[in-house]
Amino acid sequence: MTIKAGDKMPEGSFTRMTGDGPQKITTEQLFAGKTVVLFSVPGAFTPTCDAKHLPGFVELADQFKAKGVDSIACTAVNDVFVMNAWGKSGGVGDKILMLADGNGAYAKALGLELDATKFGMGVRGQRFALIVKNGVASQVNIEGPGEFKVSAADFVLKQL
């Protein structure tokens, strides 16, 4: 079942790179008592994701914080090392949490997996952006195939 506005976020975890190496972060740690924007891309370093999606959130991060967002998190079905390298390449610094969903378990829990096997990419996560308030999805923006509109940073910012 696909997540919708008003639904509690499913339990799960991601992996992120820290100064001490890869570390798990649970959805409880990520969402409890916070307002979080979680956006997903089909893959790190892929054209739209790298040229538009991630840079938009980096550029508008301060405006998100000014509207009460505690964290902006980017996830993809990539390993933690790729997500870390992409974050460095994209200049995210401490503006964006780069969260690896290495096996796609969280994308599946959200009902937002994407079969990209015909592109040689296996099963990935769809392109989406969620606004999560204290563990509940308040806005769910899922892109149609090949689109980049409702998950873009400027669109999501207007929903706050």
**Which domains can be identified in the chain, with CATH numbers?**
13-158 (3.40.30.10)
Q: Could you tell me the pLDDT band of residue 149, with boundaries at 50, 70 and 90?
A: very high
pLDDT per position as a tens digit, 15-52: 999 999 999 999 999 999 999 999 999 989 988 888 89
Q: Which of 3, 49, 97, 142 is catalytic?
A: 49
pLDDT per position as a tens digit, 50-88: 889 999 999 999 999 999 999 999 999 999 999 999 999
Residue 49 is a catalytic residue: yes
Q: What is the predicted pLDDT for the residue at 104?
A: 95
Is residue 122 pLDDT above 80, yes or no?
no
Is residue 123 pLDDT above 90, yes or no?
no
Among 50, 52, 72, smallest CA distance to 62 is for: 72
In 3-state terms, what secondary structure has residue 57? helix
Q: Work out the average pLDDT over 108-123.
A: 87
Buried b or exposed e, range 141-156, using 16+ CB within 10 angstroms: bbbeeeebebbbbeeb
Q: Where are the alpha helices (DSSP H) in the chain?
A: 27-31, 47-48, 54-66, 80-89, 105-109, 153-158
| Average pLDDT taken over every residue of the chain | 95
Among 4, 64, 15, 5, smallest CA distance to 36 is for: 64
Q: Work out the average pLDDT over 104-116.
A: 93
The residue type at 160: L
Among 79, 67, 84, smallest CA distance to 18 is for: 84
DSSP structural state of residue 104: S
- Residue 133, classified by CB atoms within 10 Å of its CB into exposed (0-12), middle (13-18) or buried (19+), is middle
Cβ proximity of 128 and 141 under 8 Å: yes
Is residue 4 pLDDT above 90, yes or no?
yes
Is residue 145 pLDDT above 90, yes or no?
no
